[in-house]
Structures are given as C-alpha cells and as structure tokens.
Structure 1
Amino acid sequence: MCKVGYTGEGKKCEDVDECDNDFNGGCVHECFNIPGNYRCTCYDGFMLAHDGHNCLDTDECMFNNGGCQHVCVNTVGSYECRCKEGFFLSDNQHTCIHRSEEGMSCMNKDHGCAHICRETPKGGVACECRPGFELSKNQRSCILTCNHGNGGCQHTCDDADNGPICGCHPKYIMHVDGKTCLEREDASLEISEGNTTSGADVDKRVKRRLLMETCAVNNGGCDRTCKDTSTGVHCSCPVGFTLQFDGKTCKDIDECQSNNGGCDHFCKNTVGSFDCSCRKGFKLLTDEKSCQDIDECSFERTCDHTCINHPGTFECTCNKGYALYGFTHCGDINECSINNGGCQQICVNTAGDYECLCHSNYKLHWNKKDCVDTCDVRCARKKTEKRFRKTIRTLRKTVSRDHFRVRVSGVDHEVARKSFKLSEPQESCGVGEMHVGNRCDQCSPGEYSPDGFKPCLPCPPGTYQPEAGRVSCFPCGGGLTTRYGSASLFQDCETKVQCSPGHFYNTTTHRCIRCVVGTYQPEFGQNYCISCPGNTTTDFDGSTNITQCKNRQCGGELGDYTGYIESPNYPGDYPANAECTWNINPPPKRRILIVVPEIFLPIEDECGDYLVMRKSSSSNSVTTYETCQTYERPIAFTSRSKKLWIQFKSNEGNSAKGFQVPYVTYDEDYQELIEDIVRDGRLYASENHQEILKDKKLIKALFDVLAHPQNYFKYTAQESREMFPRSFIRLLRSKVSRFLRPYK
C-alpha cells in the first residue's frame, strides 16, 4: 500500500496533487502541492484561518497604526492611511503633508486627485493612482482592481469596468456586503435504521455510513486532505496542524509551546507556522531561528575613537584627554577650565592635552604645574658660595667626614648624616619628593614640600591641595578656613552654604552661582564649573551632567549617489533651538530614494520639533515628507521632486534622540520598480523585514546596488542568501522579474 497522499499499487507510488481539482484542494486562495500533502496560503493582507483553508482579513491597523502618521482604516485584504483636516496623504501613502491654500499646485487642497498628484512642466497637475488601482475616465478618481488587496474580496476576485466583482469558494456563500464569504451549514447525513439496538445492527449501521462517505462529497468532511479507503474516508493535516479526535478537524499547532519553536529569542505563533524574532541588538540569521549579535563596531562612524562590542549592545570610549558625549562622540577636555588645570600660573589647552607655563623669571617645576624662581649667573654664584660656606662649617663640627655624605645637583647640594646601616644605593630625589624605602615618593594630596629637601608638610588651615607632589597649597579664598589640616579638597573648606550640582561657590560673594551655558557641575560643594568637551554646549545654564553637553553642528554626508542626514548630536539628544538645512541635488536622470529607519521626536511637544523634505525652501513647494512625531517602524519612499530641500528645527521644549536618515539616488529608468517595492506592505509586514531597513550594513549593500547596478555582481548568490531572509529575497525577486518581463 502507498502512504497517505500517494497513489499506486504499493510497489510504485506517485504523489497525489490535491490542488488539481475543482475545489482547489479546498483552499479559498492559493493551493500548493507538496510531496504527500498540500498547503493553503493566502494573498497579501489575509491570514490563514484555523481550518487551514479559509483566509481571513488581517487588520494591519492593529500593528503600529499600520505605519500611518494620522489615521489608519482597515479594509478587506488591505488598509489605507488617511489624514486629518488640513493635511493630505503623501506619495508614500503613510505620512501626511500640510495643505497650502495658495496657487494651483499639488500642494493646494483643491487639486482633485484621489491618490497621487504630479505637477506638469507647464504648471498644471496630473493625477496618478497607487499600485493596484486604475485611473478613471475623469482622470481624477481611482478604481480599485483585484491587484490590490484582492480587490477587497475575501475569496475570489474578477475585474470589471466598474471595479472588482467578488465570489466565494463552493463551500461558502456570499455575505450581503458582497465581499466576505460565510461557510454553508451542511445538513447532517441521517440514515433511518428503525428501532433496533443490537450490537450487530449498530456495527452494520456504522459500517454502512462509513462506506457512504466519500472524498468526492464535501471533501469527505475533512478539513484538509481526504483519502478514500476500504473503511471510509481518511483525513490528514498538513505540516503545522494536528488532526483532532473527531478525525476530521485540523487544529493549528502552537510550535512555540515546544522548545520555543527552536527560536533563540522570541517565538510568535501563526496559523500553520510560527515566526522567530530577536532581542534588540541581535539579528535573525537566514535559518530564521538563530539570533546573532550585531557587531555595531563593524559599522562605519559608530564611535569617534574606540568601539567595544558587547552582546546586544556596544560601548564607545575616548582617548586620554577627551570626554564622551552623545553616546558615540569624543570631544577635547578643556583641563584649564577646572581650577586653571592645577597650573600655578598659566594654563594652555591643546587637543587631547594641556600645558602649564610660567611668567618671566620663573621656570616650570618638575611636576609640570608649579613655577619656581630662576636667577642669573651672579645670583647662582652667590647662592653656591653661601651654601658651600655653610657646608664647610658643618664639616668642621664633625668628628669624622665618614659620618657625612654630600649630594650635589647643579648649584644645589645636600649634606646629610650617613647611616651606619648598609643599604642599597638610593636614587636621587627631585624637589617635592622624599625617600620612602629606596625610592622617591611624591608628597600626598593635602601636603606640600616647600623646598624639596625637607619632609612634606600638611597644608595649613584655610588651604587645600588635591594633587600629589606640589610645592604649595591652594587657598580656600574669601577668608574661609578648613575643617582640619591636610585638606585635599575644596569641599573641606568651611563654606557658608553648600552648593548643589549645576552651581559653584563664589568665594567673593559667598553665594552659589549657576553654571553658565556651555559648562556643567555634577557634584555638590564645588568652586568651579567644567567646560563642555570639544565644540559642544548646553541648552541652558545650571547643567549638572556631561550628557547635557550637545553638539549643535548639523551632521551628514550629502553625495551625488549615497549619503545621510542626521540630527545634531545624534545618537544623543539633539539641542534646543536647532535649525539644520540640507540640499540633495542628484546628477541628471537620477531620482532619490529615502529610508527612515526610525525617528524620535517628542509627540507631546505640539510639533515644536519637526523634519520636512520639500522641493525647495518655499512652503508651497512639493512636499515629500513631513513629520513631528516618533516612529520606530521604518519606512522607505521616493522623492516627489528631482531634488530635495530638507530642514530640521527644534524649539526650547523637550528633546529626543532624533534621526539618521540614509538616501540613495538611482537611475530614473527604475522608477516604476522602486516605487512598486517601497509601496508594498510586505516590505514592512514582519519584524524581520523591518530590521533589514534598520541594519546599516544591509542598507549600505542595497543602496550600493541601487546607485551602481554593476556592483550587483560583487555579491554572490550565497552571500545574498546569507544577508537577507528568504521571504525578503522572494519579495524582491518577484517584483524584479515582473519589471523585467517585458524585456525578455
């Protein structure tokens, strides 16, 4: 005998094509034959019902508002975005653009186009329809076809002059709405068997009923696969379903209940299947189950200096002399802004470092911060003679010269009593250092060494010293004293009030003063504010953290073929009252494609912060994109004009991460193909597809091929399969094939 799903005498079995019949295998949309079985699938905008045959509408508006900026309206097999009063829908069919009241152009609310408005070279307007619609005879309205959301039909769709005509599968009847289908209530098969109740009669009755069942009638009552056998019909279910106790019904298997469906991270059950997804910072591999850490450090421009990758995240660090701001950027630290860099006299800041200098008649001490007196030859001679006379007097008073040692360094020398204990040779100590054991140690913080030859002394009351190896201590100032001797911090000075972060103590007025714009102070009780690193500044005075230091320069690289725009200080929060302007002017016969992976603008700010893309700076010019909200769902769209003027503005209100938006220019001969791809809802249907549009490496590869099609041959078929999920490749392949078909 042959297995279920095959036919033959047993020695040779052939697969039964369950889809090759008038019932289409019982599938209301598409039926795919597989060895020994078959599977039903649904058109875009539908999902498979639990019976594995019927197709139900997917409510796209339930997920992130369908990606619509304003209003999402679900329809059978599709959805559409609508705009609030005073706005109209842009070409990407998701975002809304403010209407203009002036002039007859596509920006005017009375242009009359149902879908897409194009401005003609002569100054008029021409209407176009979205994919899946046809322009009506009035050249304004758009007629739905079966190519869009199955024409709004749940089962079958046929195009007619006035729009789609819907039909139902034989097992269903049409609903009064003319679009959806209802399952027929089949009458139960009843066989009158009299009043006998013997066991033999019951067995005969059951056997007779089984023999009367056949797959030719109502698919034998089977949900999915039906096979006639000597004992009656035999029902089976496709992969992803399990046969219930009634022997007829197929129930979806929740694969996520067993070993998480084999998914590394998240598992989401679907009818007849399941989907895996990954945590933030990971990407799904082409086996569509495994998750791999995204190595952000492999991207260009991730960190200014050093990037350290961690599982699911990354960390940026800066070289010595630089401070981290905006998560990824490094700015030079102005050490001179903190107590003059510790320099006794002059402090000069340099890139990544600083230098202490001295006034004339002073020289820099060995500690590179203090300044000591210098004198000419006459001065040096007098000092030398004086010290030698003192040395001679000391030597004359000794019993034996063997009890003393003399150490000379230039004009400086030292006479000291020798130790009778044998010890290892000691190194020569400089000023501000003393011997501890057999090595020279600096004076500790809170201490100083006035001449370098005596042991260190504690800082006197009213002074402090935070550094080691110094020849003096800093005064508290303003007549302040310290709580105890050997003070090492200004906080040890007894101020009249303790200043909170964002302030510094003014020793002249004995009040707390707010840190000025461009500086910050994270600690209590300090007498200084720290300058922001590099070219960054703060939005307001009284800042308390380096994270409030922001770069106001507008970033971005605008090339002829590829580039990106980004908000100031990205990925840190952008500054207040920022205004950035970019211009994209492609070479002749090239159009612009833009991908917004995600954008973060505070929605509670009443559109005080916004990003707009227009043909020119004129508010009446053709607008491609405009938003003042946060969207974590990516979107791709083509420019409505051949060049773009882009502006970002922020107010004094709340701030956010902002955006980094890549773009590519492509040959205008591919315009139809590109628009077909970016307007297809399947491009954004799954989380896996959305992650592609957020993956910098994959976007770079896609843009590389779009900008220079010959670069397609740089990538092998194997590389492509390893880069993108199978569903994404199938989507692109079908569209490219359809686009190239007229040329074959």
Structure 2
Amino acid sequence: MGGRGRDCSGPAGAPPLLLLLPLLLVSGLSLSPPPPEDVDECARGIDDCHTDAICQNTPKSYECSCKPGYQGEGKHCEDVDECLFSNGGCQHTCVNTVGSYECQCKEGLFLSDNQHTCIHRAEEKEESTLQLMENNVPSSVAEVDKRVKRRLLMETCAVNNGGCDRTCKDTSTGVHCSCPVGFTLQFDGKTCKDIDECQTGNGGCDHFCRNTVGSFDCSCKKGFKLLTDEKSCQDIDECSFERTCDHTCINHPGTFECACNKGYTLYGFTHCGDTNECSISNGGCQQTCVNTMGSYECQCLAGHQLHWNKKDCMVKGFQPGNMSPKVFMSCTKSGGVDNCFLNCPSDVHLSPGYQDAYSVTCGASSHLRSRLHKSNDSALLGNYQSRTFYNSAQYFPDVTIVRTNVTFRLNEGKCSLRKAELLPEGLPSTIPEKYSSVKEGFHYVNLTCGSGKQVPGAFGRPTMTKEMFISVDFELEANQQEVTASCDLSCVLKKTEKRLRKAIRTLRKTVHREQFHLRLSGMDFEVAKKSPRTSGHPTEPCGLGQERRKDKCVPCGVGTYDGGQGRCILCPNGTYQDEEGQITCEPCPNTENMGDQKAAGARNVSECGGQCLPGEYSPNGFSPCQPCPLGTYQPEGGRTSCFPCAGSWRGELTTKHPGATTFQDCEAKVQCSPGHFYNTTTHRCIRCSAGTYQPEFGKNYCVSCPGNTTTDFDGSTNVTQCKNRHCGGELGEFTGYIESPNYPGNYPANTECTWTINPPPKRRILIVVPEIFLPIEDECGDYLVMRKTSSSNSVTTYETCQTYERPIAFTSRSKKLWIQFKSNEGNSARGFQVPYVTYDEDYQELIEDIVRDGRLYASENHQEILKDKKLIKALFDVLAHPQNYFKYTAQESREMFPRSFIRLLRSKVSRFLRPYK
C-alpha cells in the first residue's frame, strides 16, 4: 500500500485501524461500508468546511468554497485584503474589514450611492439649477447625472463582486448583495455588518455570551459544563467522579463539599484524617485518654472503673446494700410438673449470634474474677455441669459474691428466643411461698444458647448436628449478716450452694420439658424447641430485637426497642437504649430528679435529662448539682468532677466566677494568641509544635493534625495548614495520573516527588495537564519537570514553574518519562493532578497533529473538554483499549462533545485515513 507505508498488521495481528476507534468515537467517521443513499453532510452539519466557507452538497460527497471576501480551498479560508488591489476601487481611503472592506472620504466629502466615489455636499444644489440641452430638450445636470448613475449601477458580479461585501447575485435590475448567517445587510445594500447576537436575549446562552465575527460563543460559570447544544449549561456533578472525596461527597450547583465520618477531620478540601481527640483537653477524660482510629476512649487507673459518662473514673468496688437482686428465678409445681421463669425486669442486653445462637444478659457482673476462689464442689449433674465460685470474705467483710456456671446439653433442639404462647394468666411475677418449689434472687445472669456444630458427614460433606446447649452464669450475694454463732461463713456458703443445686436440678427438668421461660421486661419468651416447627407463612418472622423493612430483617436502632409486635418503638420517657437490636430500654439514672427530661427515644444516658449542666458536677452526674468551685471549670454536662485551671486543685489560677465552663474563664497571667497555648506550669504562651495547630485565643492545648498530616512550621493556626506529604498518583501501564502531595489542598514545603512512567513496548505517552498552580513569585523555587531520565541533559518534554489554568495536551518526546516535582520553603499552591494514557506508537503522527493544533485550545469549550474528568477518562479508556469503543453508541459520543470539537478531530482522522481509502 502506498502513502505513508504503515504496517497494516497491527498488534497481535489485529487491523491497525482498530486502534483509531478512540478518535472515531468523537469524529463520527465510520469504518463500515458507506450506505447506498446519499447523505447531505451540509444539512447535517457533519462537514469539515471552514467557518467562513460555504458547504455545497454533491452526490455522495460535498464541496467547500470560501465565502466572498475570503480565499482558500474551503477547508481553510483567510480574509482577503481588498484594499491591496487598486485601493479596493475607492476614490479616497480604503479600510479593510473581516471578509469585506469599506471606502471612506476626506473631510468635507461624502460617499456617493456607489459607495466608492466621493462628492461635495454643494453639488446637490448646483445639480438642481444647471440646465443643459440634450437633443434640443432642456435637461438639468441632475437628470443627466441620474441617467449616468443608473448606467453605472448596472454593475455585474463579475466586476469587483458587484461591490458586495459577501455574496453577489446578478438580477435583471442589477446586482443583489446578501450576507451570510451572523451578518446583516446595511442600508447601502452592499455592506455586511456583524450581528452582535449577545445583545438579544444573551444569544440564548444560559450563562455567558461572547460575540465573535459572524457568530458568538456561549460559556458557563465555573462548576458547570456546556451541553452539546452549545447554549445550555449543566451543573457538573463532581461527586460522580472517582476520588472526589475520601468519605462523603455533597454536590451543590456549581460546586461541591466533602464531609468526613464521625471521628475524622477534613483537610486538603477533600481528604479525611483520624481526629486525635486526646489532643483536645485530654478528650475530656478524667484520667487516661487513648486515641483510636475514628474514635477514642477514656481509661482509668488501677483500682478505678469508668463512669457511665465514659469519661469520669470511680473507685472500684461494691458498697453494702448495692447488691440487691435484679434477677429472680421462680419455679412452681402444678400437677407434678415444674414450670420455671427467669424474671429480668431491667438491665437486659440481647446479643444475637450466628446459626440460631443468642445471649441474654441481665444485671451487671461483679468482675471479681481475680478474687474468686474455686469451690471444692464440682460435679456432673445429669446432663449438665456446674461449677461454683465465691470470693474470700476477707476482701469484703460484709458481702460475699457467689458465682455459678451451669451448662445443659440436649441431644436435639434448636435455639429459638421467641415470644411464648402461654395461658392468658401467664405466671405471676410474685408467687406465694407455699406454691413455689424454687425461689432465688440474683444480681447478674447471663444465658447463652447455641444450636449444633458442624461435623464430617456423608461423602466428606460437613453436616450440622442436632445437639444444643444452654449455658447460664449466675451471680448472687450472701450477706455476712446471716452468719450466726451456730452457722459461720462456711455454713452460709454451703446453704447457698445447696439452694443452687436444688434450683439447678429443677431447672434441668423444665429445660428438657420445654417448661423454662424467660420474662424480659415484662414479656415472656421460650428459650428453645426440641422439634422446631416451620411456619406456614411465606416469610419467617424476624428474630427478637428486629423488624422487617423491605423484605429484610433489620435490628432495632439505638433509641428504640422491640415491643413484641414485630416492630421497633421509641424508648419511653425516663429510659434510653444505646445499642441496636434490644428488646427493652434501660431506666435513666436518678429519674426522680429529671425535671427537664427529654422526649422519647433517648439514644444514650446523656439524653435522659436531669444531668448536671456544663460548669456543674455531682457524685453521679445528675441533679442535684453544685457549681464548679473557683479555680476549676467543666465544659461538659453530666460530669462528676471539675478540671483545675492550673493542673491541681490548689493551683495559682482562679476563675472569674464559680461555675466556669471553659479554660478561658480562668484568669491566666497572659492571653495567648492563635498558634500558641498557655502552659499552666510556667504560665507562659508556647508556640504550637509542628504537627499541631490552635485557631483560638486563650487555649491551654494545641490540636494534633488529622491522620498522617503535619504542618510546615510551628505556630500553625488552622487545620488547612496540616498537609499530607505523600506523593500522590497511580501509575498503570495504560492509564494513570500523578498528583502533588495534599492535592487539591496546598502542597507542603520542602517536598520532592519523583514518578517514572514506563509504558509497554511499542506504546507512547499522551499527557494532559488540565491546570497547574505553582507560585511564580517564588522565582521558580517550585517546579514540575518531565524528561527522559533524571539527568538534566536528557530530552525534556515539559517543564514549568508557573500557574496555568489553560489546559494543554502533549506527547512525550521519549518512550518513557521521568517526572520530578520539587518545592522550596517559600509560597505554596494547589499543585496539580495530571492524567496520562499510553497508545500504539503507529499513531504518533496523528496524535501529535491533534495536540499541536491551536484550535484544540482556542475555544473555551474545547478547553473545558480537557478539564472534564469524565470525558478525559472516556477518551483515555478507548485510546488505551480500542475494543472499549464498542461500549459507546454513536448517540452517546455525539452527546459527549460539541460539534466544533468533532469537526476538528474528523478532519484530522479523515486526512490520516486517506492512504487507506
């Protein structure tokens, strides 16, 4: 094949033209045979004639010819300077205009009707008085002149285009001038004047209209894109792009914002880093604060335990009288059959497990494992085991804790915590002593039910056994007041164990006979079934603590509980629930003093109401409260203590008044400005160290930067000065991008990044720089360079140290690229995000022809294409993988790009394909 002598085999034996599909995507050309019927390219606007050319349709083709006043072959037209030839026919001065020209006269003269010659104003009067004799008939000079003019006006388009600016047509009465679209014919009937379309209805543009010679351009505000009608503007949904925000993206007209999950702080406009809450007044913790990813927790020193507010610490231990029973087990005998109920009116916690397993907890455990002693009695009782532990009385002279663990193993069954179908009267919560076979009170019970386990079955397949187990932990107290002269502590413990053995034996019988039930917060439940029955309903009911939403069982959310009707309801006033999937709500502490109790649905104890306000404290965090004394402050509600101003309760600082709520209420010896903190030991202002910041006045701490960010210098005053020093980007064989550190936030000082793009064999690199922000006032202290190797003498493809908001595309001058970005300690800026694609080297000439054409960047609309992440991704995807062309329809491609962009690429591709046709 002649022409440029390209290899027609292509990679892997594929036709080389397949690799042109990315350009065909936008050009509208087709490799398939042409249709038999003629297509009017001019009418459809798919010609590649110049803007100042006339398109004329021909059979199976079209022709382009430059408009009058222009010269060229039709594909490219230039203005003709008519004044260069015989002064344009003007008697005095010729002035060239775009696509035309006009004659002007010297002062005191004016143009005659032919728009070329100049006459005196006085001649009009002379013409009306001068009489001539022609053929012995008196005639005035004016009449003769009119006849002369009439002959002169009988011009032809063949001579000087008939005097027309643009289009000339010969008629019986002389020449007829007309103007192309975008121009209007003036009163002289020959001159064409550009129409300023922007003066009428903004040219139909949604946002901005810019008049051009013979036409106009619409453009959009930042954050909007021009649609293919080249008039309408549509909001750019930045949230639809990849990597816009680390966590949550919120789109707004013309812009967007990023939001971070709880426990994270926004930095660099789009990134989220873990918040170090412990750097902010120790997280509000009374003792130790431990930061975790996305959260933090307060911890207490040895001998203390965490308060319900999760911040204060209390002395660990139990006080006499606080161990009152919270769980009651009652068994009755009717007709020789025992029925047992484990009644838990409050402090219920449900933990659903896997494969029909669950755990129910009532009350609070003593957590005295380190002080519990093993009982001498440990025996196998039928099908269950029992182990009893108790603590030595020497640790608590008034209270003895006894713990018992019981495990029942059944040969078959299924754990099923379902609402029990009992007789209407149910079982009374209080049973007369004479009718009760067992009655015992506990302060803590944990019941766990598990169904089956996997064992090897036929053909090696795992199968589920029918075995089921129920394990129960009991904790109860034995008061030493029961010790008498005739029954010492050991005697009391033996009596307690004897009662437990009796209760366990009775419990074992009721479990096997399915006569054991739980009463949780006033509702009765069965714990298991020997032979699970399937429901006749098409959908099984949801488990306990769940409700059905859109054919799915979901747990009840915080602030709600399972009311037993298959739906979740809000916790009533005076209660709260801070966990999901529960069947009851916990009573708020100190409910008798909750005058300001909040509405139903409290999600944690802090929403119960009745808490101490900021600047107050009490032993339990609830009213009655008292104000923080002088020299202390408390910024949070529901606290049991106040913080000292100077690090000790007898510090040197006092407060302006009792009940102080912030450290700023402390009368510090100096007022610290942002970027500093007040040292309560030295009573001086200290600059925030690198990696921390403080935006406010008069604080006694500096906030740690989020995540792995740090500041360039000490004394930072804002989180925006926290920067990630990681060099960004993803380098792939076919597509990828490089990104300055902390982009789109300002990059850090004194940073250096290097990237190497090494494409596969026989591929070249195309790079698009949508925009780049580097401060020129640094005298090129910050720069980006792309060259073949790290050597400064190697071939350089691109180098800049300035800000350019106008995009540019270019091909690499070498087959691989070494890229370096470097910043100094001076000014900073946003930096850059630069995408690239590798393409088949057979089309290097075509790609270079496109990216070097100034028309690619001349229009604002074309520039926006190179900034549109979605369009660039589509172009790069198909350019890197031509087979992906078939993912897009012709309609989709037309809707992606404006017609002017398609015409530009069509002419390039058509010229490149010409040797193959």
TM-score, length-normalised on structure 2?
A: 0.57
Cross-structure match for 1:528: 701
| Separation in 2, partners of 1:274, 1:689 | 15
Deviation larger for 638-647 or 447-456: 447-456
Q: Which residue of structure 2 aligns with residue 430 of structure 1?
A: 589
Q: Does 1:738 align with 2:915?
A: no
Pair 1:170–1:485, CA change in 2 (3 A) = same
Deviation at 1:652, TM superposition (A): 0.4
8 Å contact kept, 1:570–1:658: yes
> How big is the shift at 1:625?
1.0
The alpha-carbon deviation at position 339 of structure 1 amounts to 1.5
Counterpart selection for 1:649 from 792, 811, 822: 822
Q: Who is 2:306 aligned against?
A: 364
Q: Corresponding residue for 1:668?
A: 841
| 1:732 CA displacement | 1.0
| Amino acid across the alignment from 2:294 | G
Contact 2:612 2:623 in 1 (8 A): no
In structure 1, the residue matched to 2:619 is 450
Match for residue 441 of structure 1 among 599, 610, 613? 610
- Go from structure 1 to structure 2 and tell me whether the alpha carbon gap of 1:383 and 1:431 turns closer, same or farther (over 3 Å shift): farther
Compute the displacement of 1:256 (Å).
Answer: 0.6
Change in CA separation of 1:625 and 1:379 when aligned onto 2, cut-off 3 Å: farther
1:571 aligned to which of 741, 744, 755? 744
Give 1:690's aligned residue: 863
The answer for unaligned runs of 5 or more in structure 2 is 1-49, 90-97, 104-114, 120-126, 133-138, 319-390, 401-442, 445-475, 478-571, 576-586, 598-607
Aligned-residue offset at 1:245: 1.1
* 2:140 pairs with 1:197: yes
SS of aligned partner of 1:436: coil
Sort the Cα spacing of 1:183 and 1:460 in 2 relative to 1 into closer, same or farther, 3 A.
Answer: closer
Structure 1 pair 648–426 and aligned structure 2 pair: CA distance change class (3 A): closer
Secondary structure of the corresponding residue to residue 684 of structure 1: helix
The 2-side partners of 1:564 and 1:708 are apart by: 17
Q: 1:480 aligned to 2:653?
A: yes
Within 5 Å, give how 1:94-493 maps onto structure 2. 188=117, 195=132, 196-197=139-140, 204-210=147-153, 212-375=154-317, 428-430=587-589, 434-436=593-595, 440-451=609-620, 455-477=624-646, 478-493=651-666
Cα distance in structure 2, aligned partners of 1:448 and 1:379: 34
Kindly tell me: are residues 523 and 452 of structure 1, through their superposed partners in 2, closer, same or farther at Cα, counting changes over 3 Å?
closer
Deviation at 1:194, TM superposition (A): 7.6
Q: Which amino acid aligns with 2:634?
A: Q
Structure 1 match to 2:468: none
Inter-partner Cα distance in structure 2 for 1:171 and 1:350? 85
Inter-partner Cα distance in structure 2 for 1:53 and 1:182: 5
2:69 alignment counterpart: 53
Q: Contact conserved, 1:429 with 1:435, CA < 8 A, in 2?
A: no
What's the offset of the Cα at 1:435? 2.4
What one-letter code is carried by the residue in structure 1 that aligns with 2:641?
A: S
Letter in 1 for 2:771: E
How far, CA to CA, are the matches of 1:694 and 1:306 in structure 2? 23
Q: Please, what TM-score do these two structures have when normalized by structure 1?
A: 0.70
Residue pair 1:432, 1:470 contacting (<8 A) in 2 also: no
Write the letter of the residue equivalent to 1:683.
L
Q: CA deviation at 1:520?
A: 0.3
The offset of 1:467, in angstroms, is 0.8
| Structure 1 residues 506 and 565, CA gap change in structure 2 (3 angstroms) | same
Secondary structure of the structure 2 residue equivalent to 1:563: strand
Matched residues in 2 for 1:258 and 1:182: separation?
24
Residue identity (%): 75
Check the 8 A contact 1:465/1:473 in 2, yes or no. Answer: yes
- After superposition, the Cα gap between the structure-2 partners of 1:432 and 1:636, relative to the gap in structure 1 and judged at 3 Å, is farther
- TM-superposed CA distance for 1:248, in Å, is 1.2
Q: Displacement, 1:232? A: 2.5
**Aligned counterparts of 2:176 and 2:659: Cα–Cα separation in 1:** 95
How many angstroms does 1:481 deviate by? Answer: 0.2
Deviation readout 1:235-270 (Å, 9 max, x if unpaired): 221211111111111111110100011111111111
The number of residue pairs the alignment matches comes to: 567
1:102 — aligned with what?
A: none
Structure 1 residue identity aligned to 2:772: I
The residue aligned with 1:545 is 718
Mark the CA change 1:33 to 1:740 in structure 2 (over 3 Å): closer, same or farther: closer
Matched, 1:601 2:802: no
- Do 1:215 and 1:226's aligned partners in 2 also have CA atoms closer than 8 Å? yes
Counterparts in 2 of 1:332 and 1:274: CA distance versus 1, 3 Å: same
> In 2, distance between residues paired with 1:701 and 1:200?
73
Q: Deviations over 1:271-329 (max 9, x none)?
A: 11111111111111111111111110000000001111111111111111111100000
- The whole-number CA distance in structure 2 between the counterparts of 1:206 and 1:549 is 83
By how many angstroms is 1:615 displaced?
1.3
Q: Distance in 2 between matches of 1:425 and 1:638?
A: 70
Tell whether the 8 Å contact from 2:764 to 2:839 is kept in structure 1 after alignment: yes
Letter in 2 for 1:197: S
Instruction: Name 2:758's counterpart in structure 1.
Output: 585
CA gap 1:661/1:379 in 2 versus in 1, 3 angstroms: farther
For residues 458-491 of structure 1, the C-alpha deviation after alignment (integer angstroms, 9 at most, x for no partner) is: 1010000011111100000141000000001000
User: Is the 1:433–1:469 Cα contact (8 Å) retained in structure 2?
Assistant: no
The AA in structure 2 aligned to 1:730 is R
Aligned residue number for residue 850 of structure 2: 677
Secondary structure at 1:441's aligned position in 2? coil
For the 8 Å contact 1:366–1:431, the answer to whether it is kept is: no
Q: Does 1:517 align with 2:690?
A: yes
1:229 offset after TM fit, Å?
3.0
Query: Of residues 715, 719, 722 in structure 1, which corresponds to 2:892?
Result: 719
Match of 2:582 in 1: none
Alpha-carbon displacement from aligned partner over 1:640-663 (angstroms, at most 9, x marks no partner) = 111111111100000000000000
2:849 counterpart SS class: helix
The secondary structure found in structure 2 opposite 1:442 is coil
Change (3 A) 1:578 1:476: same
Equivalent residue of 1:710, what SS?
helix
Alpha carbons of 1:658 and 1:594: their partners in 2 closer, same or farther (altered >3 Å)? Answer: same
Determine helix, strand or coil for the equivalent of 2:229: coil
Identify if the C-alpha distance between structure 1 residues 147 and 187 changes in structure 2 by more than 3 Å, giving closer, same or farther.
closer
Name the CA distance, whole Å, in 2 between partners of 1:520 and 1:708. Answer: 48
Distance in 2 of aligned mates of 1:245 and 1:703: 53
The question of whether the paired residues in 1 share the 8 Å contact of 2:69 and 2:80 is answered with: no
Tell me the distance in 1 between the aligned counterparts of 2:800 and 2:744: 19
Residues in 2 aligned to 1:542 and 1:687: alpha-carbon distance in whole angstroms = 43
Worse-superposed segment, 283-292 or 376-385: 376-385
Q: CA RMSD in A?
A: 3.7
Q: What one-letter code is carried by the residue in structure 1 that aligns with 2:140?
A: T
- Deviation per CA, 1:81-120: give whole Å up to 9, x if none: xxxxxxxxxxxxxxxxxxxxxxxxxxxxxxxxxxxxxxxx
Q: How far off its partner does 1:731 sit?
A: 1.0
Corresponding residue for residue 514 of structure 2: none
